Structure 1
Amino acid sequence: PLRSRLEELTGLAVFGDLDAKVLALAEGWLGAAQGHPDFCVITVSTAIAGGIVVDGDLLEGESGYAGHVGHLIVEPAGRRCRCGAQGCLDAEASGQAIEAITGRPPSEPTYEIMQRTGHLVGRAAAMVCNVFDLTLVVVGGTVASGFGATFFHAAQVTLDENARPAYSRGARITPSRLGETGPIIGAGALAWRGVRRASRRNRVQPPNAR
């Protein structure tokens, strides 16, 4: 409804998507995944989300939520998630979850919390790599960037331990290269993709179309 209303008001095509998926477009265009046709982006911030690119195309899914890694189960006996499941990554490692578990904001983490968060994200990253045959995971978001090297080392160790099939072995986790500019660059990438798709649709018409 918002998109159609904006199009009506402006007379222009309007495109929108989830922030983590838009970041995936940005990282593939100008960021840490540049030149890689297959990769995953995970954002670890107030909440956790993600986007997956395969053969250069951002996966959409039936409802547009493909790549939402926040609902991968990383602690089967863990906290109840808002979705109703138990032990989702979002319920265990997001900024909101960290504050609920520790009583401290994620801006004031202990070493143990940074390690635990990294391990959980690495576990989820391994699941994605094993399922989608990926070897690159780009991680961004305020929590991940704030936790820094401790987080990324723990995530990589756990990824190495769990990405064991020959095709995903050697997968690596790397920080987002775009930082705070990622969403803005992603918005541009999203618009460019939308315009190109619209152009292709307009060119491809049935044989009897006029």
Structure 2
Amino acid sequence: MQNDLVAALDIGGTKIAGALVDLHGRILVRAQRPTPAQEEGETVMRAVEAVVAELSTSSYWPRARALGIGSAGPVDASKGTVSPVNVPGWRDFPLVERVVAASGGLPVELIGDGVAITAAEHWQGAAQGYDNALCMVVSTGVGGGLVLGGRLHPGPTGNAGHIGHISVDLDGDPCPCGARGCVERIASGPNIARRAVRDGWCPGPDGDSSAAAVAAAARAGDPVARASFERAAQALAAGIAATATLVEIDIAVIGGGVAKSGEVLFTPLRRALRDYATLSFVRALTVTPALTGTDAGLIGAAAAALGAGERKRDVLLGGGGS
């Protein structure tokens, strides 16, 4: 069958991954380059072009009908530009235009990395079968995306559902985004570790002061480490409950490095959610770990490309979709 694949790019501050993905979400071909994140913009773009070029050498490439990009943000899908915080050489960089050229003219769909993870979880992961979902990544930052009415809802610029920058503490610490008390400022891995150290937690003999080390200490019963995770869980619960109240989601899926802490995070999160999600239409909200793992960005970018094609087909056929 021709045109039965899509290409996908997952662009972050550490790596640029690419893949050819079939209509069932199976990755058939991979390519990857390190992200030269501190170099000038054209150097970063050459790494992207190298990934696309490697994919294009595959015998599967002629079957690709579109290309999806999940990029660190902010992104602006309406303009086709990206300004990743962790790639300073890209500010309003015309990524879509450049990738269209590099791919030989394939239609390109751009979304933020949080939205990409959401698309992956809805297609292949824990949000599968749910029409209304919030999916989050809790790692060095906190991002997210929404599925509403059974469809990915990226918003006009591709950033809808960015729960990390909902303020949950009006007098809280300043956030790099310019606001105060954001979910990310409390619940990201580095901020969990920062708070634990500030409050008196001491790393072990190896000097590891990461969130994973704090999680290990919390599991072993350290009260300061446990309190830092409980504070993070409270911030996440407040943000999830606010989102659920606003748009009536049925499930919140949480992935990323901090989610690998397991019940150190999820037990206090579910407990705190009962305190915030109090209205009748949000009390049944389910919170669960993500399932798609390290390929989530690629799978989600592929899903976005496929979904864009379906939306365009609906318009051409005179239907609106649901």
User: Please, what TM-score do these two structures have when normalized by structure 1?
Assistant: 0.89
Output one character per residue of 1:190-210: Cα deviation in whole Å (capped at 9) or x when no partner.
Answer: 221123234445556xxxxxx
- Find the aligned partners of 2:263 and 2:153 in 1 and give their Cα distance: 29
Residue matched to 2:211: 106
Q: Secondary structure of the residue that 2:129 maps to in structure 1? A: coil
Task: Kindly state the Cα deviation for residue 57 of structure 1 after the two structures are TM-superposed.
Answer: 2.1
Output one character per residue of 1:8-61: Cα deviation in whole Å (capped at 9) or x when no partner.
Answer: 232212222111101111111111111110010111010001101110122233
Contiguous gaps of at least 5 residues in structure 2:
1-93, 198-208, 215-224
- Find the aligned partners of 2:103 and 2:178 in 1 and give their Cα distance: 40
Match of residue 59, structure 1, among 141, 147, 153: 153
- Is 1:135 equivalent to 2:250 in the alignment? yes
Match of residue 116, structure 1, among 231, 243, 253: 231
- Find the aligned partners of 1:63 and 1:186 in 2 and give their Cα distance: 17
Contiguous gaps of at least 5 residues in structure 1:
205-210
Mapping 1:176-195, distance limit 5 Å: 176-195=290-309
- Find the aligned partners of 1:135 and 1:78 in 2 and give their Cα distance: 29
Match of residue 124, structure 2, among 1, 5, 30: 30
The sequence identity of aligned pairs, in percent, is 31
- Find the aligned partners of 2:257 and 2:178 in 1 and give their Cα distance: 25
Higher helix share: 1
Q: Which has the larger radius of gyration?
A: 2
Match of residue 173, structure 1, among 269, 276, 287: 287
- Is 1:9 equivalent to 2:9 in the alignment? no
- Find the aligned partners of 1:64 and 1:29 in 2 and give their Cα distance: 18
Q: CA RMSD in A?
A: 1.7
| Greater RCO (Cα-Cα under 8 Å, separation 6 or more) | 1
Task: Kindly state the Cα deviation for residue 158 of structure 1 after the two structures are TM-superposed.
Answer: 1.1
Mapping 1:78-89, distance limit 5 Å: 78-89=172-183
Q: Which moved more, 1:127-136 or 1:192-201?
A: 192-201
Residue matched to 2:278: 164
Letter in 1 for 2:140: T
Higher strand share: 2
For the 8 Å contact 2:186–2:231, the answer to whether it is kept is no
Output one character per residue of 1:35-93: Cα deviation in whole Å (capped at 9) or x when no partner.
Answer: 11001011101000110111012223343321110111122221101122110111111
- Find the aligned partners of 2:211 and 2:299 in 1 and give their Cα distance: 26
Output one character per residue of 1:93-114: Cα deviation in whole Å (capped at 9) or x when no partner.
Answer: 1123234434432121122222
Q: Secondary structure of the residue that 1:170 maps to in structure 2? A: coil
Letter in 2 for 1:106: A
- Find the aligned partners of 2:287 and 2:166 in 1 and give their Cα distance: 17
Letter in 2 for 1:8: A
Match of residue 39, structure 1, among 133, 141, 145: 133
For the 8 Å contact 1:135–1:169, the answer to whether it is kept is no
